[in-house]
Amino acid sequence: MRRPQTLAGAAVGTRPIVVPVLIALNVLVYLITAAQAGNPMRNSASALFDAWALWPPQVAAGEWWRLATSGFLHFGLLHLALNMFALWVLGRDLEVLLGRARFIAVYLVSLLGGGVAVYLLGDLGTQVAGASGAVFGLMGGIAVAAIRLKVNPRQALMVIGINLVISVTIPGISLLGHVGGLVIGALAVAGMVFAPRDRRNLVQIGTVAALVILIVALFFLRDAQLGEWMCVTGADGRPGCGRIGG
């Protein structure tokens, strides 16, 4: 007998596993940075933070992995706690609805979407880190899923609106990363839950592939705009970056 499935094609009754694993990874990375820095609230002064954080000039200098690794870093314990709480609250239901593989895909493309949005339009002098882009992708996904399930999405939309207002009004929060993750996450989940049953896998894979292509295209567009950069580590251990040829 075939097991009953959710509208996204996941087996009904599966327990969330990916969300706890993601939370554990984020906590582990935070503990490493805190230990390296010797201060749990100033963990950004660590070697791993310097190697993984998203600073656009370093990405332009060839360190493209920062678009992904920055999503596992956090500025202090409060930043980590807020993002992990949101991931736990939002992620469990979405993982059950989508299934583990689809959830991982949504999480990662949202994370990359937030990172590329910062790279594309962000301030070249600002360092960015945090899982917020991926978390906002989950927020957008929850809202889309509510519409598909014919559930009133008002609560989900209110949460998104409140968090966007907070992103605008509180200094030091990356609005671009949040919006980028939100848009990509909503589009990814839309492809998952609105896919016709007879072509479900094709549409779902095609949606994720199209979003990845879009993200890569935006990355190369910005890379071409910025030109060639070079970064060197100074005597203080901090990198300095400059455009080659001016």
Residue numbers annotated as active site:
132, 178
Concatenated DSSP letters for 162-230?
HHHHHHHHSTT--HHHHHHHHHHHHHHHHHHHSS-GGGHHHHHHHHHHHHHHHHHHHHHHHHHHH--EE
Angle at 31 between CA 43 and CA 87, to 5 degrees: 100
Residue 47 has, within 13 A of its CA and on its CB side, a CA count of 3
Structure tokens at 118: 């910062």
> Angle at Cα 53 formed by Cα 52 and Cα 58, nearest 5°?
90
